[in-house]
Structure 1
Amino acid sequence: MKKFATGVAALAAAGTALAVSAPAAHAYTDNYGAIALSTSTGLIGYSYDYPDSASARRRAVSSCGVGDCSTVVWFRNGCGAVAYSSGTGTWSWGYASSRRSAQGQALLRNDSDAYIVHWNCTSNHG
């Protein structure tokens, strides 16, 4: 009988240790992303899942790799998209809570022959 009591005590101690060491529930956090564009070369840089918009924009510009890259769109918990019209040589962009909506915004702001050249989303987009 003593073995059983010792086993129960050990099991209870292990359960307490597990309860104390269990990770806390993760609080919801905002994720930011951005898209940078060089209109002279068409090169694009992007970022996603950064803790703030400034960090996301810096990463997008640095990943573009050309001196004239600049951020054209940034977003929080969503998506961004860039469209190009080969007929007029114009660029447009948009952002929204979903990929489809961001692409729609980018296309809506350009000519009828425009097409999506890039899109990206944060991992917690709508």
Structure 2
Amino acid sequence: MAVVIVLVAVFVLVIGGGAILWLGFHVGDSARKHAVAVPTLPDLPTPPTYSPPPLPSYSPSFPSGPDSPTDTYSPPPQYYGAIAVASDGSVGKSWDYSSAAAAEKRALNECPRSHCKVLVGFMNSCGAVAYNPRTNKYWGGRGATKTAAEKDAISNAGGGHWITWVCTTR
């Protein structure tokens, strides 16, 4: 049965393919006999091209002389200081350090006791420590001058007297 199906398929292909080839040659011959000339479009002129003009060169000029601005801005230097105090009044001071942490570390290292605490830190100014004998407490203060820092420390302590001060470079 399978052989019959294969033979029928081959017969259909051979007969069908031959018919298609015969029709193709026949139609091709008649098309060649009846060819018609197709008109072509006339040559059109080439459109002009656009080239933008060159941009002018730009070189900014900066004023020079005594009224000219400086090249870059440099903020003023920041100098830090600190004062550390122990409960017995021992003091450690530092000034003109580049960071608050470095100033505090140095003040603690300068304090001769192991239980010192930083009572005041300051930047580009002064710091002072005051002692109030009524409360038996030390207090820190800061200000633009030595006198202002001492007054601030005494005020913070609620009275008493100042025991030390230090100022940074400004």
Task: Tell me the TM-score normalised to structure 2 length.
Answer: 0.54
Query: What is the correspondence of 1:33-44 to structure 2 with a 5 Å cutoff?
Result: 33-39=81-87, 41-44=88-91
Query: CA offsets per residue over residues 92-124 of structure 1, 9 Å max, x none?
Result: 110122211111111112243x01100000021
Q: CA RMSD in A?
A: 1.5
Q: Which residue, 82, 99, 109 being the options, matches 2:146? A: 99
Q: Which residue, 119, 142, 146 being the options, matches 1:72? A: 119
Match of 1:122 in 2: 168
Q: Following the alignment from structure 1 to structure 2, what is the Cα–Cα distance between the partners of residues 65 and 90?
A: 19
Asked whether 1:57 is paired with 2:57, we answer no
Shift, 1:42, TM fit? 0.9
Task: Flag the structure with larger Rg.
Answer: 2
Aligned residues: 97
Structure 2 counterpart of 1:89, one-letter code: N
Asked whether 1:32 is paired with 2:80, we answer yes
Match of 1:13 in 2: none
* Unmatched segments (≥5 aa) in structure 1: 1-25
Match of 2:133 in 1: 86
**Sequence identity of aligned pairs in percent?**
33
Q: Following the alignment from structure 1 to structure 2, what is the Cα–Cα distance between the partners of residues 109 and 52?
A: 25
Runs of 4+ with >3 A deviation: none
Higher strand share: 1
Query: CA offsets per residue over residues 38-77 of structure 1, 9 Å max, x none?
Result: 12x2101000000110000000000002110111110000
Task: Tell me the TM-score normalised to structure 1 length.
Answer: 0.71
Equivalent residue of 2:89, what SS?
Answer: coil
Structure with higher RCO (Cα < 8 A, 6+ apart): 1
* Unmatched segments (≥5 aa) in structure 2: 1-73
Equivalent residue of 1:29, what SS?
Answer: coil
Structure 2 counterpart of 1:36, one-letter code: A
Query: CA offsets per residue over residues 20-50 of structure 1, 9 Å max, x none?
Result: xxxxxx96311000000112x2101000000
